[in-house]
């Protein structure tokens, strides 16, 4: 898959893209990443990328001309059919389900804005999808573009070493993850749950599933609304709830 990021801060993206799972996938040729800067597509001596908003008001707006030329140049280097995705606070909420749609594309052009945003005519003419990463404010689209690129990349076959890792990710199953422990067996007087040391793989699987269900019920009940639980899951969640009620006063329950 080919990912392209359009940004006024190319170093922000290229630095990140060399690291970790994403960086290894680029090195291995499983992913291609390219970055371009609208400043390189300006035609005036000052290399102007922004201007004052028509109608007045605070802040600046990214100019249509340089952006439009940057998008055209990027698309010319991308596989045919690659959509242009604009990261913006006005966008549709980015979720794991959106990531699963995007990974089916041959490539993505991720457009990161700065200032108050970009000239709306660029959106009308050249943007296929507008995405927000959540209801909070960051200073520009770059972090959002990296979130989307990273999330989609993890779904590309060969990016994660173990193909089961992507399947097991939280949200892929619609549940929060269970707790994790590693050596030592005692830390600061706190013990590892004995079942994890038992070697009983079936008991461990059921313990993990019970904790995943219980924590989802406690912390993110909204996630359970969309899921049809199996008989075993229903049983394990009921066990968790019974235990939570039995220990009321020690733990808060909702
Ligand atoms: C006063 C209006 N603000 C809109 C909420 C101005 C504004 C703030 C921050 C305009 C752009 C930005 C920069 N943010 C992004 O480009 C962005 C973003 C975000 O801030 N939150 C969540 N998702 C995204 S995707 C792109």
Residues carrying an active site annotation: 89, 116, 154, 169
| Calpha distance 240→175 (Å, rounded) | 15
Q: DSSP class of residue 110?
A: E
Say what the pLDDT of residue 253 is. 54
What predicted TM-score, i.e. pTM, was given to this entire model?
0.95
Please name every residue paired with 33 in a beta bridge, in sequence order, or none if there are none: 3
Q: What does the block give as tokens for 203?
A: 């008991």
pLDDT, one tens digit per residue, over 137-183 is 999 999 999 999 999 999 999 999 877 677 777 566 799 999 999 99
Is the pLDDT at 127 greater than 60? The verdict is yes
Neighbours of 249 (CB within 10 A): 7
| Calpha distance 97→79 (Å, rounded) | 23
Say what the pLDDT of residue 190 is. 98
- What ligand 1 atom has the least distance to the C-alpha of 59? 6
101 C-alpha to center of ligand 1: Å?
23
| Calpha distance 221→198 (Å, rounded) | 31
- Residues 144, 150, 153, 154, Cα dihedral to 10°: -130
| Calpha distance 3→7 (Å, rounded) | 13
92 C-alpha to center of ligand 1: Å?
13
């Amino acid at each position: 898959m080919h990912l392209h990021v359009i940004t006024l801060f190319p170093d922000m993206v290229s630095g990140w893209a060399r690291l970790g799972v994403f960086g290894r996938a680029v090195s291995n040729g499983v992913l291609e990443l390219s970055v371009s800067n609208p400043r390189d597509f300006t035609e005036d001596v000052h290399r102007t990328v922004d201007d004052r908003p028509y109608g007045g008001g605070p802040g600046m707006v990214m100019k249509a001309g340089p952006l439009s030329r940057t998008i055209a140049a990027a698309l010319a280097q991308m596989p045919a059919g690659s959509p242009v995705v604009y990261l913006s606070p006005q966008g549709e909420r980015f979720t794991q389900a959106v990531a699963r749609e995007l990974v089916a594309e041959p490539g993505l052009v991720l457009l990161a804005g700065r200032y108050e945003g970009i000239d709306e005519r660029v959106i009308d003419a050249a943007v296929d999808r507008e995405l927000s990463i959540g209801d909070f404010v960051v200073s520009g689209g770059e972090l959002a573009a990296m979130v989307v690129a990273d999330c989609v990349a993890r779904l590309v076959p060969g990016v994660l070493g173990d193909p089961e890792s992507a399947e097991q990710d939280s949200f892929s199953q619609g549940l929060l993850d269970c707790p994790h422990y590693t050596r030592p067996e005692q830390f600061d007087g706190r013990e590892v749950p004995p079942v994890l040391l038992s070697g009983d793989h079936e008991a461990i699987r059921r313990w993990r599933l019970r904790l995943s269900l219980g924590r989802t019920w406690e912390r993110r009940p909204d996630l359970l609304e969309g899921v049809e639980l199996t008989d075993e899951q229903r049983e394990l969640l009921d066990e968790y709830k019974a235990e939570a009620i039995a220990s009321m006063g020690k733990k808060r329950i909702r």
